[in-house]
Structure 1
Amino acid sequence: MVDRGTPPTAAPLPDAWPLRAETNLALNRMGSFDWDVDNARLHMDAPAMEVFDLEPGEFDGDADALGELRVPPDESDRLNAMVAQAFKDGSTTYGAYFRVRCRDGSLRWTHTQGHIERDGDGRPYRVLGIVRDATEELAHAAERIAVAEERQRQTNLIDETTAALARAITVQDVIEVLGDTRGLGRLGAISILMGLLEDGRVHVVAERQADNMVPELEYTRIEEEFPMSEVIRTLSPRLITSPGEFASRYPRLWPHVKPIGVTAAAYLPLIAQARPIGALGLLFRGRRDFTPEERNLLVALSSGIAQSLQRAMLFDQEHDIAEGLQTAMLPRSVPSFPGARIAVRYRSARFGRDVGGDWYDVIPVPGGRIGAVIGDVQGHDTHAAAVMGQLRIALRAYASEGHAPATVMARASVFLHELDTDRFATCSYAEVDPAEGTVQLVRAGHMDPMVRHPDGSCRQLPVAGGLPLGLSAQFGHTDYPVTRMVLGPGETLLLFTDGLVEQPGKDMDDGLRLLTDAVCEGPHRVEELADHVGAVMGERTGGDDMAILLLRREGEPIPEIGRRVHQHIAPADPEGLTMARHMISEAVRTWGARERADEVELVADELITNALLHTDGGAVVTLRMLGGAERRLRVEVQDMSSSWPRRREPGETGVSGRGLLLVDRLADVWGVESRGSGKSVWSEFILQDWGGE
């Protein structure tokens, strides 16, 4: 037989084997009790007395007195309620944790478990049970709870940060998420920095919570010894756990972070699609280490941040391109007009390349009038912007030719329909005479304009309308009604697109009421009023683009007497020509323009004669006074010929056409404008000493 050696000596048992139950319970810091419910008597053995921190003879067996000796009132009430419920519902056992107040005043967690004896009627009369010290048990449980709570906190942090990043659209939105107390701010960092990789350099674009942005370190080269540069080069996180380590590894950066008390830092590469796009830095005060769970948390968060950041950077790039395209389609500048002040504002759509089709335009119209246009092409994409650009140019051309507002709108509708696109457009066109204040309004499926009065009150102006551009031509309904009104001195006409008042899920009437309040409460100057309206409405509206055009009539009204006179002259009608000459002479003198009366009459006579001699049909002569910064008298002669007059210099063959030399010499300015099927030859005279009061 193999000698297996002397067996090890077993540890001595405190008693014979098997151990008696009371000894076993005592070794495990458990005691027993026997409770006579009917007589309110309670017997506890020595270990049970130790659990309650009672000396022998200190407890006389009165069950009711035990609570007063060692169990705090709130704990006693809770324990009694639990036992009473067990008695009532027929239970045979119960168990509960409660606290005992020791003789030194400290609280000890205790656990009790009892077996309920009942008589034949089910009435409880005796409870046999045990009590034990549960301090260590609950301490371990508290540790497990703390670990579970920390894991849940980290899970919540990841979930909430991920959800917030999913809603982030722009790079600025991502930056806001990083500093939010519900996001990375919950990690306890005193400073959170983000840098983007741009052309071989790290550009620090954000710093949250601590004033730690260093201007000279805003841009650093990728090969320099800075933590962000290092993690981008290596694609690995860098965790710094002491000030000494920070100072030795990054001596150029340490003097800038030392004053804020940094003791630890975490720098993480932001990697998207296997390439670095930036880095994230978190600076801590008081921390000396990172647990494995915290390291995993930071890596997981950096991955989600990188994906959101890449998406936001792409959005910003697309939005810049789209906004540039949209802006290129709009007028580069707004011309100035005597007697009027004009302000325009445009805000592009907020969602990437969702370019809108909103546009505005201000067009010089023959006769010193102003064409004000606001419109919106259906859709939010580059196609809508392209269609908008073509439509704006076409409408501008029709208006510049001198067509009536209804004709301008009808031709624009036919043009859009013939583009063979599936888009339509809403539009409002106002032809304004700043001298007289007359306004002709045409609306194609667009929103009604508003008028603000000099006292600050405003109202929406009902305008008769037709079908949107494109649709009216498609269905053969291109007759657009014209609404006429007078814009008084100091009154402002407001044209706008629906993006100014629409908000998803909201009633448009609410937006119109808010716009009315903003216009009424806004400043008097049109530029400031445009800024005010855009700011107020931009806070509540959705992501649609919007355009605003404000036109205010300036100056005082010119005298009512003879502000405009005109007369038709038939061909071969000497009497009509004489009457026209007499009308011009009387009007000039009545309006107080005597110092230039001879010049005006001579030029008007030349233009009328030229029209009657060189065109078929009659002519219409119009004389009117223009308001504004300077008073001007305008003479217009309109005929049905598209042939423009040509000025001839002396010495050329023939004698006709030389009258324009006289017009050029006497008038301050003159010109020729298309008027649909004909033309208008006009001249203007500046009145230095206007005597029309």
Structure 2
Amino acid sequence: MAERAAAGPLSLPDDWPAHSDLTLSLNRMGTFDWDLDSGLLHLDSPALDVFDLRPDEYDGRPETLRSRLPQGEGRRLDDVVSAALRDGSANYGAYLRIRRRNGTLCWTHTQGTIRRDADGRPHRVIGIVRDATQELADSVARLELDAVRRVRTSLVEGTTAALAHARTVQDVIDVLKESHGLADLGATSLVMGLLDSGRIHLVAEGPEGSFVPGTRITRVDEGYPMSEVLRTLTPRFIESAAEFALSYPLLWPHISGLGITAAAYLPLIAQSRPIGALGLLYRDKYGFTAEDRNLLVALGSSIAQSLQRAVLFEQEHDLAEGLQQAMLPRRIPAVPGAEIAVRYRSARLGRDIGGDWYDIIPLPGGRVGAVIGDVQGHDTHAAAVMGQLRIVLRAYAAEGHAPATVMARASVFLHQLDTDRFATCTYAEADLSTGVVQLVRAGHVDPLIRDVDGDCRRLPVPGGMPLGLSAAFRRLDYPVETAELEPGETLLLCTDGLVEQPGTDLDDGMRLLAALVRDGPRDLQLLADRLCEVVDERGGEDDVAVLLLRRGGARAPQDGGRLQQRVGQGDPGALSTARHMIRAAVAAWGARERSDEIELAADELITNALMHTGNGAIVTVRELSGSLERRLRVEVEDRSSALPHRRDPGESGVSGRGLLLVDELADEWGVESRGSGKCVWCEFIVPARPSH
């Protein structure tokens, strides 16, 4: 410009500046002048071109233009103009469609200025009309581009929100595969690998049937795209099949038949540490825009964070599961006279490990203890507390404590652990020879009993506070419920995960469980499996423990009778009554041949208890009938923890003969711990009763 100015005066064209008609024409605009008084509408040549009319086809009347306006468009334009004329507007504008000579529709824009007289009455409209097809096309394109951008932004946001709920690596893969994310990104499939000690473990294999042998585990230094992005920590965008084949000759021959035209491989980095790599495979895509790349990098960052959480969760879950399995009984002991089935299922919805447990405790005298419990919480701490509580409760039961004492001492122990956890529990002690079951419940769900005919009923058990809480509030009294389990009947103990369901109360859950047990298989193991299948199908946020105990039929010892008498210290009348009771029982049960031995041994045990404990005693005599032999058992229980032992008689020959005599007379004898005391017992084999 400076050079031109220095050369001399500028030489301007003759038609400079351009006339407004030329300016409008070059911009595809025409003008109109509408005289409202005469009704004539003048259109210049560019305006006629917009309407695709020749000069000889237009007579200056607005009605002639109706042939170019689709139905409804003319009426809409009239409404716009009429409103502007009435309300005193100085101008108006409208977009409308017109029909060209070949029948196609195109968009047009008209804009007019209204002139009014001194009284404000409109008498003339002057304006322009122009082809707006390209304008609106560009506008639609911008809107579509904005819509695509919004979709992609919402894709990242939606995928991130979905990944926030993923708790395992498989959850992360499922979110990416099952959402519309892949389709919205244009990808047909994905591959994913996790990095561990310099090796990449493939966890998602890509398209169906596309697995490449030898790539399940690869090294970071190998010639694969995931290896490269983990070495360089830089995304790799492959924009064509030729580039893929040239860059990765080890991999391409195996996947060339999949129709892949592009791929994006992203390093998954969380907290500045690579944890894996993600590959997105495309068909019918060529190249990646800058926006594509930014979007994929942002998505990869979100996936990496979720994947790290999932890996840490699975590690913690495996630790908790291993801890819990170590704390649960490794095997259930065989108990003569009983059939037992136990099951444990971790939560399926949250996949957490909790504090549910079961236990079977063989006890002396044909008795067995059954425990079901649930420590509050779903973590490794709950599993650790469960293990300690199970062992302690088992020890208290094996020591011979009464069921209520077992529960109270377990509560004190849990309270003294100085943990914020409490536990619910049910402890049942069953005498398989008599079928008598003593049950104690600490805040737990009631047990069920399934009859021989399959009917199932709830067994209400008065309960105390949960373990730990009862000790904290000094309410350690646990009522004991006594029930009878007939041969062939089944006792069911479970944790609340089997009963509680969303939207139902506990009573409804118990009724549903009773119906499920009633309709379930007769076989105990199959019934336990069926209960677990229902839990798996239902899912849920709580783990489940189940214990089934069925009293045997003819194989179990059956009690022909049981008599009991308390003998107080210094109460000769009660001692005489006890001796009479034993003599009568021996006679009634057809054991006269051994009556002298039984009465003498029983008298020695009673006398020892009264002389050496300083307290009274409880004398029990009962008949035990088995499939091979029949026995009479005498039990003398006292409150002293000092165990008796055989010793030689003193010089006087008066003391020390008691247990020696019992040892000689009885077929078996022994001592059992009974919590606050002990029980000394002896058994005698007697002839079987004659069959009738």
TM range, smaller chain: 0.7 to 0.9
1:51 is aligned to 2:53: no
1:21 is aligned to 2:11: no
1:336 is aligned to 2:334: yes
Q: Report the alpha carbon displacement of residue 439 of structure 1 after superposing the two structures with TM.
A: 2.5
Tell me which residue corresponds to 1:580.
582
Residue type of the alignment partner of 2:393: L
Tell me which residue corresponds to 2:560.
563
**Superposed CA offset, 1:427-464 (max 9, x none):** 22222334444322222222323344556554443221
Which piece of structure 1 moves more, 486-495 or 572-581? 572-581
**Superposed CA offset, 1:379-432 (max 9, x none):** 455444443333322222222233322222223233334445554432222223
Provide the C-alpha distance between the structure 2 equivalents of 1:383 and 1:244, rounded to a whole number of angstroms. 56
**Superposed CA offset, 1:143-174 (max 9, x none):** 33333233222211221122222222222221
Provide the C-alpha distance between the structure 2 equivalents of 1:88 and 1:511, rounded to a whole number of angstroms. 73
Tell me which residue corresponds to 2:96.
98
Q: Report the alpha carbon displacement of residue 502 of structure 1 after superposing the two structures with TM.
A: 4.8
Residue type of the alignment partner of 1:398: Y
Q: Report the alpha carbon displacement of residue 288 of structure 1 after superposing the two structures with TM.
A: 1.9
Tell me which residue corresponds to 1:635.
633
Provide the C-alpha distance between the structure 2 equivalents of 1:496 and 1:574, rounded to a whole number of angstroms. 47
Question: Would the aligned equivalents of 2:349 and 2:539 in 1 still touch at CA under 8 Å?
Answer: no
Tell me which residue corresponds to 2:160.
162
Question: Would the aligned equivalents of 1:489 and 1:557 in 2 still touch at CA under 8 Å?
Answer: no
Q: TM-score, normalised by structure 2?
A: 0.83
Provide the C-alpha distance between the structure 2 equivalents of 1:513 and 1:90, rounded to a whole number of angstroms. 78
Residue type of the alignment partner of 1:563: G
Q: Report the alpha carbon displacement of residue 203 of structure 1 after superposing the two structures with TM.
A: 0.5
Q: TM-score, normalised by structure 1?
A: 0.83
SS at match of 1:57: helix
Question: Would the aligned equivalents of 2:582 and 2:621 in 1 still touch at CA under 8 Å?
Answer: no
In structure 2, the CA distance between the partners of 1:197 and 1:44, relative to structure 1 (3 Å rule), is same
Tell me which residue corresponds to 1:246.
244
Selected match of 2:202 from 193, 201, 204: 204
Residue identity over aligned pairs, in percent, reads 55
Which piece of structure 1 moves more, 4-13 or 455-464? 4-13
Question: Would the aligned equivalents of 2:606 and 2:619 in 1 still touch at CA under 8 Å?
Answer: no
1:303-322 equivalences in 2 (<5 Å): 303-322=301-320
Question: Would the aligned equivalents of 1:366 and 1:401 in 2 still touch at CA under 8 Å?
Answer: no
Question: Would the aligned equivalents of 1:515 and 1:537 in 2 still touch at CA under 8 Å?
Answer: no
Which piece of structure 1 moves more, 248-257 or 541-550? 541-550
For structure 1, the residue ranges without an aligned partner over 5 or more in a row are 590-596
Number of equivalenced pairs: 673
1:33 is aligned to 2:32: yes
Q: Report the alpha carbon displacement of residue 248 of structure 1 after superposing the two structures with TM.
A: 3.0
**Superposed CA offset, 1:292-317 (max 9, x none):** 11112222221221122112111111
Residue type of the alignment partner of 2:104: S
**Superposed CA offset, 1:29-86 (max 9, x none):** 111234466877544222112112122333444534534x223335445545544554
In structure 2, the CA distance between the partners of 1:456 and 1:577, relative to structure 1 (3 Å rule), is closer
SS at match of 1:49: helix
SS at match of 1:334: coil
Tell me which residue corresponds to 1:608.
602
Provide the C-alpha distance between the structure 2 equivalents of 1:614 and 1:258, rounded to a whole number of angstroms. 93
In structure 2, the CA distance between the partners of 1:464 and 1:106, relative to structure 1 (3 Å rule), is same
1:386-465 equivalences in 2 (<5 Å): 386-453=384-451, 458-465=456-463
In structure 2, the CA distance between the partners of 1:4 and 1:50, relative to structure 1 (3 Å rule), is closer
Which piece of structure 1 moves more, 449-458 or 217-226? 449-458
Question: Would the aligned equivalents of 1:607 and 1:637 in 2 still touch at CA under 8 Å?
Answer: no
In structure 2, the CA distance between the partners of 1:77 and 1:449, relative to structure 1 (3 Å rule), is farther
For structure 2, the residue ranges without an aligned partner over 5 or more in a row are 611-615
Residue type of the alignment partner of 1:230: E
Which piece of structure 1 moves more, 110-119 or 152-161? 110-119
Question: Would the aligned equivalents of 1:444 and 1:467 in 2 still touch at CA under 8 Å?
Answer: yes
Question: Would the aligned equivalents of 1:637 and 1:681 in 2 still touch at CA under 8 Å?
Answer: yes
1:289-308 equivalences in 2 (<5 Å): 289-308=287-306
Which piece of structure 1 moves more, 269-278 or 676-685? 676-685
Tell me which residue corresponds to 2:678.
678
SS at match of 1:167: coil
In structure 2, the CA distance between the partners of 1:685 and 1:218, relative to structure 1 (3 Å rule), is farther
In structure 2, the CA distance between the partners of 1:156 and 1:63, relative to structure 1 (3 Å rule), is same
SS at match of 2:214: helix
Provide the C-alpha distance between the structure 2 equivalents of 1:550 and 1:274, rounded to a whole number of angstroms. 52
SS at match of 1:223: coil
CA RMSD in angstroms comes to 4.2
1:370-381 equivalences in 2 (<5 Å): 370-381=368-379
Q: Report the alpha carbon displacement of residue 280 of structure 1 after superposing the two structures with TM.
A: 0.7
Question: Would the aligned equivalents of 1:671 and 1:683 in 2 still touch at CA under 8 Å?
Answer: no
Q: Report the alpha carbon displacement of residue 692 of structure 1 after superposing the two structures with TM.
A: 7.2
Residue type of the alignment partner of 1:223: D
Question: Would the aligned equivalents of 1:52 and 1:100 in 2 still touch at CA under 8 Å?
Answer: yes
In structure 2, the CA distance between the partners of 1:586 and 1:513, relative to structure 1 (3 Å rule), is closer
SS at match of 1:332: coil
